[in-house]
Structure 1
Amino acid sequence: MNIVLFFLHWWRPALEIAILAVGIYSAFIFLRGTRGAPIVTGFLALLLALTLTTRLLDLQVLNALLNQFFAFLAVGVVVIFQPEIRRMLAEVGNLPLSNNAREQREKIEVVCETVDRFSPVRIGALIALEQGIQLADAVESGVVVDCEATPEMLETIFFPNNAIHDGGVIIKGDRILKAACIFPLTQRQDLHKSLGTRHRAAIGLTEETDAVVVVVSEETGQISYAHRGQLVRNVTVQELRAFLTEVLVRRPVTRNWLSWLRPSNRVNPNQSGA
């Protein structure tokens, strides 16, 4: 009987605590590694210190102002993390029904074969693979190509003497939409100074969208990829193929509404192997 009464009395607080715990964990996973995380962390630390001080010293005016200020905190978080929130919503809305596994695998093979040709001869490349968010919203520049995505066409576009070899290429499905695109550069200050424009553009575009961007360095021929604002450098073609298959084929099929809460394996762009 006591157990029943205890359950009837405490189930609401227990539910509230569980919801708060999930919310705090979700926020931690979502904010970790983003470019606005240090700002929010420092701001919250300062706000917590001020709140404790006003409560301990009974500073009623400041305490009232701080309570009112919390109402504007949510708006500030939305503004600071607008790109990350848009990317998260796109991932949640990218339903399995819209995923064509065969088309995705063919696109993966086109990209892998292309970088396999480029890497030994050090032909630079910047290839963005569109997913849920339309890249036209983030990239207004570029030359409309609208042709089938093949290694030969990509080789033609990125050939050093070609007029449109500079900039990035956008691939949607099995077609090349645009070439010579100028992707937004990341504003992160913690990146190594040796990181080139292509790699910074790859990070920048994936900070604002859910795209996957593949890079071939013109200086070293090394292959890299960026996703969710994180760059992985100096990978093999086999490693690239495995990653693209995981993101474009397997993950959409198994994705559920809680998948974005899982911690992602983040790689420091400052690692050796520029």
Structure 2
Amino acid sequence: MWEGVTDIFSQITLIDIIDIALVAFLFYRMTLLIRGTRAIQLLKGLLVLLVAMVISDRLELRSINWLLTQIMTIGIVAIPIVFQPELRRALEQLGRGKFFGEGIFSSNQGDEREATIKEVKKSIKVLQTRKIGALIVIERETGLNDIVETGIKINGEISAELLINIFMPLSPLHDGALVINNNLIKAGGCYLPLTEKPNLGKELGTRHRAAIGITENSDAISLIVSEETGAISLAENGKLSRYLDEDELESFLIKLWGGNEERSKSFWHWRLGN
């Protein structure tokens, strides 16, 4: 047996290793692309059907196996239609040079994010003082183009003045969520999925539930300013931290999104550690 294994490994060349590594990397990037989106649930459904088809074939359940085979055939044909948003997002990122890694063609991403965090902090402070409700979603690895498409595209450079004006009462975009990525406001007035957690406090309204909901479906960070109390909250990984001040908010954003080595840590793991 060991001789057969040795023979197999002896036939592997450097080109084969590079080939396998490239395929693995492509699958990894595709997984990041659909992680946290509805596509991952569809993939799980296809996987369940595939397992059921194999089991029915082994048990010789011919009728069930035939039915599952037909469903799988239809599913494979429908994949390009079902995954159309994800495929379009992949092609867009490939064209922008972001598919193979965030920031490949940008060396000053960390500086841009630091400046963005400063502008967000300034705007949050003003919104808190005036008790103006706000909901800001910060996009990280998981693409939020499906959310952006529900709102009005802006694609404007982030500034505290622009952020404040967007959320001013009677503004056309003040009721929805604002989506930002790096140093750009991608869209405003966006609709977010609401969390279905049953144990949330009654004092939390739609804005807070939407902020939690988007972080359950993606790795995004949500910032909330309460219209009633002016309290600042942050949602990450489906969990909500309330009653932050602007300095504490800035520290959290630097850790979670600032581009340093610790930004990939869980918000709650970092916070408990401090």
Normalised-by-shorter TM-score class: 0.5 to 0.7
Structure 2 CA distance for aligned equivalents of residues 75 and 197 of structure 1: 38
Q: CA deviation at 1:128?
A: 4.0
The reply to whether residue 183 of structure 1 matches residue 183 of structure 2 is no
> Given the alignment, which residue of 102, 106, 109 partners 2:115?
106
Structure 1 CA distance for aligned equivalents of residues 136 and 173 of structure 2: 13
Structure 2 CA distance for aligned equivalents of residues 167 and 116 of structure 1: 19
Distance 1:148 1:66, change over 3 A: closer
Gaps of 5+ in 1: 256-261, 268-274
CA contact (8 A) 1:184 1:204 kept: no
Q: Which amino acid aligns with 1:6?
A: V
Task: Name the residue aligned to 1:234.
Answer: 241
Distance 1:191 1:83, change over 3 A: farther
TM-score by length of 2: 0.57
Q: 1:182 aligns to what SS in structure 2? A: strand
Q: How many residues align?
A: 246
> Given the alignment, which residue of 56, 59, 82 partners 2:59?
56
Distance 1:239 1:84, change over 3 A: farther
Distance 1:187 1:146, change over 3 A: closer
The reply to whether residue 95 of structure 1 matches residue 94 of structure 2 is no
The reply to whether residue 139 of structure 1 matches residue 142 of structure 2 is no
Task: Name the residue aligned to 1:271.
Answer: none
Q: CA deviation at 1:149?
A: 0.3
Task: Name the residue aligned to 2:6.
Answer: 7
Structure 1 CA distance for aligned equivalents of residues 85 and 50 of structure 2: 24
Q: CA deviation at 1:130?
A: 5.9
Q: 1:6 aligns to what SS in structure 2? A: helix
Q: What is the identity percentage for the equivalent residue pairs of Structure 1 and Structure 2? A: 29
Q: CA deviation at 1:183?
A: 0.9
Q: Which amino acid aligns with 1:55?
A: R
Q: CA deviation at 1:110?
A: 1.5
- How does 1:1-274 map onto structure 2 within 5 Å? 5-9=4-8, 41=44, 44-45=47-48, 48-49=51-52, 51-57=54-60, 59=62, 62-64=64-66, 66-67=68-69, 69-73=71-75, 86=89, 92-98=100-106, 99-119=108-128, 122-129=131-138, 138-139=148-149, 141-142=151-152, 146=156, 149-150=159-160, 152-160=161-169, 165-171=174-180, 174=183, 181-186=188-193, 189-190=196-197, 196-199=205-208, 201-202=210-211, 212-225=221-234, 230-235=237-242, 236=244, 237-238=246-247, 240-250=249-259, 265=266
Q: 2:191 aligns to what SS in structure 1? A: coil
Q: CA deviation at 1:216?
A: 1.7
Structural RMSD (CA) = 5.3
Gaps of 5+ in 2: 269-274
Q: CA deviation at 1:105?
A: 0.3
TM-score by length of 1: 0.57
Q: 2:105 aligns to what SS in structure 1? A: helix
Distance 1:96 1:164, change over 3 A: same
